[in-house]
Amino acid sequence: MVNHLMAITGALLIGWTAFPPAVQAQTAGPAQALCGDHTEVVSKLEKGYSETPANIGMASNGTVIEVFASVEGTFTIIMTHPSGLSCLMAAGESWEQIKPQPQGSGV
């Protein structure tokens, strides 16, 4: 399972490097964030990994956090800035959609 996760993450990293350098954002320190235009990012997730939107929310700073997941259980979390720049935050496998529990259920 760990090897499978490493293979998916490696494939994501290789695939995301196809974004032109102009749309990649530099993060603090030597690490580089994997970023691109929101439309391009969503297209790559759908075409390359069969991942579609599963959850969405807005952070207090105005960025939108989205989770994309496939029926096979792979997932990607992206953060989109108001400018339309989307950055990969995390990717993995074994995604499960949890059904909301009724209030007062004790869960």
For residue 105, is pLDDT > 50? yes
Single pTM value for the model: 0.65
The residue among 36, 13, 41 whose CA lies nearest residue 25 is: 36
Total residue length of the chain = 107
CB-side exposure of 55: number of CA atoms within 13 Å?
Answer: 12
Q: Which tokens belong to 52?
A: 């579609």
Tens digit of pLDDT for each residue in 39-86?
999 999 999 999 999 999 999 999 999 999 999 999 999 999 999 999
> Which of residues 4 and 52 earns the better pLDDT score?
52
Q: Do 52 and 46 contact (CB within 8 A), yes or no?
A: yes
